[in-house]
Structure 1
Amino acid sequence: MSDQELFYLLALLKVDGVGDIMAKKLITHCGSAEAIFKTNSTQIAAIDGVGSVLLKNLQDKAVFEKADQELKFIRSNQINVSYFQAKEYPDRLKHCIDSPVLIFTAGQINLKNKKIISIVGTRQVTSYGSEICKKLIEDLAPLNPVIVSGFAYGVDIVAHQFAMDYNLQTIGVLAHGLNQIYPKTHKRYMSKMEENGGFITEFWSSSNADRENFVRRNRIVAGISEATIVIESADKGGSLITANLANDYNRDVFAVPGRITDKYSQGCNNLIKTQKANMLTNAADLVYMLNWDIENKVKTVQKQLFVDLEADEQIVYDFLLKNGKELLDVIALQCNLPIYKISGILLNMELKGVVRPLPGKLFESI
């Protein structure tokens, strides 16, 4: 991304009243962040959701000074920046309507591995929770998953530590800018994490670890992953927010059950009881539900004779034939079909006997 492109994107995100959803709407309408500032007010006013207050805020020249300051920080510290329309932007995060327009990363992050899971839980992790986390990561290690968490106290840092112990890539999603670290006691883990993984944030260098930022951070934890696992949680807490966000994003959620008298099992037990999470007792549960035990082989068989496929069905079939099993939302993205339409297409193809559904919201050609 050029400095000019990044400059205008940063400026847009500093406009009061412009969040990620509105920013995407403006960019889609005008073509680029730069074009937004150069388009006349009458055209901008025609965009759904734009009122007189926002039009006035778009004229605020102070946003350019703030953008220039942040751009200098990004370039001087060699921060990696990923734009929501760019190829390198995390695939699953693209499907979240409220995903950040820009994310900033540090380290050696490689998200081409499709086995990405988030592990979250209480900051007061017990020995039970720690042992469960270790056993889970140990058993999953041969499958080389990426372990994502929030780099906080408790379950988060335990998950990061065990991932590093088994040489797995691990990513900490931060609730502040990359010019600081919270909690400070976790600074000792940074170098090793950045060797195989690293850190992701949407926050600028001017952002501190404020309370509201942790809730915003959680949507990245939930959205970037194939599944979210809650190890331990009280009946209220940030990990439950992450689980709810994952459900909203149509991702799989797992919770480790515990004794009904244990404080930090109440949240997990309630997730299972209300069917907001699958019960997780061992790594095999996760592997089965996410369909990781089925090899992703490219099929060489041809479509059955005398099965007539519509044009969109043929596009989907050819994609699955080439790529093997794939997630519903990835099929929609790669085949350039709306998500509401792809569900019906896949159902018709299933009835015709040319595709079949798999655990974990996956589909493959037959």
Structure 2
Amino acid sequence: MSDQELFYLLALLKVDGIGDIMAKKLLTHFGNSEAIFKVKSNQIAGIDGVGSVLLRNLKDKTVFEKANKELEFIKSNAINVSFFQDEHYPDRLKHCIDSPVLIFTSGNINLKNKKLISIVGTRQITSYGMEFCKKFIEDLAPLEPVIVSGFAYGVDIVAHQLAMDNNLQTIGVLAHGLNQIYPKTHKKYIARMEENGGFITEFWSSSNPDKEKFVRRNRIVAGMTEATIVIESADKGGSLITANLANDYNRDVFAVPGRVTDKYSQGCNDLIKTQKANVLTSAADLVYVLNWDIENKSKPVQKQLFVELEVEEQKIYDFLLKNGKELLDVIALQCDFPIYKISGLLLNMELKGVIRPLPGKLFEAI
């Protein structure tokens, strides 16, 4: 994109009353942003949603001053800019009607042919959430997913750190411009993240991390990824907003179940209960639901995805792997276990994420 094209796009986005949806509508109609400022008012007036106030705002010359200032910041700081029709703009985000017209990035982000997942959750992550997140990312590492999160306290920064520890690309989606970092205590992670990954934002250098911007940020987290994983959440919080946005975008959502008495499992349990999220007990659950290809990989991914089984559990697993779906009674008979014992073994295996129950008392190996 030329500097002139970017200048007029920036100016367009600074016009009061023009958001991403309206900007895309105008760009589609007139072909480019410069033309929108140069056509006669009666040519714009006929477009659905354009009224007298917006027509008047398009004549505001101060938007050019603001655009020029931001363009200088972009050039002097080597900021990468992606237009929503560009090839390197996040592919899944293109299909979201309210996705940003422009996104600004820093670092070494490469999304081509990559599996993208977002990991979100409470800022008050517990040891349970931390241990699950650690095992989950370690087990997924052979598949080389890109880990996306919001660079906030708690689950976000833990997910970013674990991604880096496992040599995975990780992206922080920010609720402010690239001239600052919030929270400030996370500045120490910037250089390492930008080595293999980096940061994405739709906000200008003049933008501060206001509350409403975090909600807007969440739509990028949800929209650019194939699936959103909620590690822990109270009954209210930003991660639940992200999960709902992911559902609205027809993305897969996963939630880690927890005890009903645990405050930071309430949100996850509610997502599962209301069928807004798949149960996530291991990396294998995600791989199965997303149908990720784990064949033709140089590393033994299959073994790493499954936890170690007890001797009796291994016997059941091998039987199901060989025979496919089977009734509980048949499993008990063929594996030579009494019904009372087989029920407990199957429950443990389900919690470990190696089998799943099916209607009619059927079970199958994952």
TM-score (norm: length of structure 1): 0.80
What is the match of residue 308 of structure 1?
none
Tell me, which stretches of 5 or more residues in structure 2 are unaligned? 298-366
Alignment of 1:51-90 (within 5 A): 51-90=51-90
Q: How far does the alpha carbon of each residue in 1:122-181 deviate from its partner, in whole angstroms, 9 at most, with x for none?
A: 000000000110000000000000000000000000000000000000000000000000
Instruction: Work out the CA distance in 1 between the residues paired with 2:153 and 2:247.
Output: 24
Give the secondary-structure state (helix, strand or coil) at the position aligned to 2:106: strand
Relative to structure 1, the CA distance from residue 219 to residue 131 in structure 2 (aligned partners, 3 Å threshold; closer, same or farther) is same
1:113 Cα offset (Å): 3.1
What is the match of residue 300 of structure 1?
none
Instruction: Assess if the C-alpha contact under 8 Å between 1:125 and 1:232 holds in 2.
Output: yes
Instruction: Work out the CA distance in 2 between the residues paired with 1:248 and 1:179.
Output: 31
Instruction: Assess if the C-alpha contact under 8 Å between 1:171 and 1:199 holds in 2.
Output: yes
1:67 Cα offset (Å): 0.2
Q: Percent identity?
A: 85
What is the number of equivalent residue pairs in this alignment? 297
Instruction: Work out the CA distance in 1 between the residues paired with 2:28 and 2:110.
Output: 28
What is the match of residue 182 of structure 1?
182
**Root mean square deviation of aligned Cα:** 1.1
Tell me, which stretches of 5 or more residues in structure 1 are unaligned? 298-366
Correspondence 1:98 to 2:98: yes
Give the secondary-structure state (helix, strand or coil) at the position aligned to 2:254: strand
TM-score (norm: length of structure 2): 0.80
What is the match of residue 35 of structure 2?
35
What is the match of residue 108 of structure 1?
108
What is the match of residue 250 of structure 1?
250
Q: How far does the alpha carbon of each residue in 1:173-228 deviate from its partner, in whole angstroms, 9 at most, with x for none?
A: 00000000000000000000000000000000000111000000000000010000
1:295 Cα offset (Å): 4.7
Instruction: Work out the CA distance in 2 between the residues paired with 1:162 and 1:80.
Output: 26
Instruction: Assess if the C-alpha contact under 8 Å between 1:113 and 1:145 holds in 2.
Output: no
What is the match of residue 225 of structure 1?
225
Correspondence 1:200 to 2:165: no
Q: What is the letter of the counterpart of residue 82 of structure 2?
A: S
Instruction: Work out the CA distance in 2 between the residues paired with 1:293 and 1:171.
Output: 23
Instruction: Assess if the C-alpha contact under 8 Å between 2:143 and 2:294 holds in 1.
Output: no
Q: How far does the alpha carbon of each residue in 1:18-75 deviate from its partner, in whole angstroms, 9 at most, with x for none?
A: 0000000010011101110011110101111101100000010000000000000000
Alignment of 1:325-364 (within 5 A): none
Instruction: Work out the CA distance in 2 between the residues paired with 1:88 and 1:56.
Output: 34
Q: What is the letter of the counterpart of residue 13 of structure 1?
A: L
Instruction: Assess if the C-alpha contact under 8 Å between 1:113 and 1:146 holds in 2.
Output: no
Q: Which of the two has higher C-alpha Rg? A: 2
What is the match of residue 44 of structure 1?
44
Q: How far does the alpha carbon of each residue in 1:296-320 deviate from its partner, in whole angstroms, 9 at most, with x for none?
A: 99xxxxxxxxxxxxxxxxxxxxxxx
Instruction: Work out the CA distance in 2 between the residues paired with 1:53 and 1:270.
Output: 43
1:240 Cα offset (Å): 0.3
Instruction: Assess if the C-alpha contact under 8 Å between 2:246 and 2:252 holds in 1.
Output: yes
Instruction: Work out the CA distance in 2 between the residues paired with 1:190 and 1:77.
Output: 15
Instruction: Work out the CA distance in 1 between the residues paired with 2:4 and 2:221.
Output: 29
Correspondence 1:2 to 2:5: no
Instruction: Work out the CA distance in 2 between the residues paired with 1:123 and 1:65.
Output: 38
Q: Which runs of 4+ in 1 moved over 6 A?
A: none
Instruction: Work out the CA distance in 2 between the residues paired with 1:238 and 1:52.
Output: 36
Instruction: Assess if the C-alpha contact under 8 Å between 1:14 and 1:67 holds in 2.
Output: yes
Instruction: Work out the CA distance in 2 between the residues paired with 1:133 and 1:236.
Output: 20
What is the match of residue 320 of structure 2?
none
Alignment of 1:134-173 (within 5 A): 134-173=134-173
Q: How far does the alpha carbon of each residue in 1:84-107 deviate from its partner, in whole angstroms, 9 at most, with x for none?
A: 011111100000000000000000
Instruction: Work out the CA distance in 2 between the residues paired with 1:233 and 1:153.
Output: 13
Instruction: Assess if the C-alpha contact under 8 Å between 1:177 and 1:206 holds in 2.
Output: yes
